[in-house]
Each structure stands twice: as structure tokens, then as C-alpha cells.
Chains A and B, each alone.
Chain A
């Protein structure tokens, strides 16, 4: 089962 990652986890705030 795969879950959707959030884009904010990859790009710095």
C-alpha cells in the first residue's frame, strides 16, 4: 500500500 506524500515535505519553507 502506498501513501501520498505532501509537497511541503520536500520543499523548504
Chain B
């Protein structure tokens, strides 16, 4: 039996918003430790990895490991039936073919219950190697969303350069080009870009903005985002989910043909 209780529906709603455009169907792998999901997008360009720790949830139990095959769009629709502040319980019996959702209103005077059919999903599980990155940049998640949105009006790809000056995002298109640079500046002045850069080697890599746009759907989960880069390996974009866990996205670089 698997059962997880979230004090508010909003975390699950936000997790689904952050994944449903990238992944249609995914196995939610539930164990005694918590909930994990790993899935590639349909083009196999990017990978999303979600982790929610059971001991940081309002309550959690999972006696036997269970993989719950979920259509992300269906789950998104069911979660829309909950108010953000509803206490939310998700539950599945061992060998169940449905997941049960219970939403309790703040005043406990309204309870809604939904059942969602589970699916058999054949998914490849990739081993993500431990990686020391040449550069890790922490910045405002809103700022990152803004830069991705702005540069998407210029071109399809972004060149990200990190050196000791800071981080620069650049895009080129048929009609022009644009760059946005953020200086590495430990000042805590109001209105400063407030980024921190952990750098061992300068890096310059190219990525498809289309996928970064999908990743920025996770911005409501966290005020900050961290970008980790090394030459010739996938970019890792991480949003913390409070103390409960994280959502990490990996994006393969564009390479010279």
C-alpha cells in the first residue's frame, strides 16, 4: 500500500505543470524513501528527474516498492479539481490499477475523491553519473524564465558562457541577435541580479531554447534555480522543492556537426 499526504495541493499541481509539457506518461516509482520519477521527453533530448522525500511530507507510507504508470495530462486535470490549499492524499494499493486522490478543503467541510486509471509504461531508466561541474550558477528563477522568454523571440538556440565575469546568454536569429549578461556580484543591494557563480573552468555551450522554456515551467516551485555546466555534457537545471525534494532537468548540448 502506498499513501502520501500533502498539506497543500499546490506542490503537486506545480510539479505537474513543470513536467506535463515534457513528458506524456511516466512511472512514479514509490519506495519507503519517497517518490521518484525519471523520464525523457519524446525526442530523447532532455530528461526530467523528480524526487520527493516521504519523511518531509505530511504523512507517507509505502511498504512495498511500486511503480505507478501515470498519464501526466490526466493527473493534471484531476489536480485542477483541488483548491491550492486542499490537503491532498494520493493512494494506491499494491497491484492496484487505479490511483485514488482525496482532496480535503481547509475547513474540512468538503471532501472530494477521484480515481485515475493507471497504465503499464515501458520506460528506459538511465543511470545519471555523478558529475563535477565546471560552473554552477545560482540565480533567480524568475530572472532565468525572463531571459529564456526574451531570447526565444530572437532565435532557437542559446549560447551560455560562464567565466569569472559572470554568465552571458546569447541568441542569434535570421532577423538579429541578442545577449543578456549577469555579473557575478556578491552584493546584496536591492535590485541587484543577486547571482552566485561557483567556477572551476570557464564554459561555453549551446542549447535549444525550446527545452529551456519547458524547464522554466518549474519556476513557481522555487525562487531560485541552479544551472550546472561542463564542456560536452548535459546542462543540469535544478529547482528545489522546499525541503521535500527537487526537480532536475538535463538537456543535451548542441554539438558541432
Contacts and interface: CB of A to CB of B under 8 A. Distances in A.
Q: Which 10 A-B pairs have the closest CB atoms?
A: A11-B126, A2-B254, A5-B252, A12-B127, A7-B252, A3-B257, A1-B257, A6-B44, A7-B47, A5-B255
A5 B253 contact: yes
B129 to A, nearest CB: 7
A6 B208 CA distance: 12
Given A3-B254, A5-B255, A7-B252, A12 B44 contact: no
B134 to A, nearest CB: 15
Contacts of A9: 252
Interface of A: 1-13
A8 to B, nearest CB: 5
B254 A8 contact: no
B221 interface: no
Interface residues of B, number: 23
Contact of B206 (A2, A11, A13): A2
Contacts of B124: 8, 13
A12 B254 contact: no
A8 B40 contact: yes
A1 to B, nearest CB: 5
A11 B254 contact: no
A11 to B, nearest CB: 4
Contacts of B250: 7, 10-11
Given A4-B45, A7-B47, 15 more contacts: A1-B256, A1-B257, A2-B255, A2-B257, A3-B254, A3-B255, A5-B252, A5-B254, A7-B234, A7-B251, A7-B252, A8-B126, A10-B250, A11-B126, A13-B127
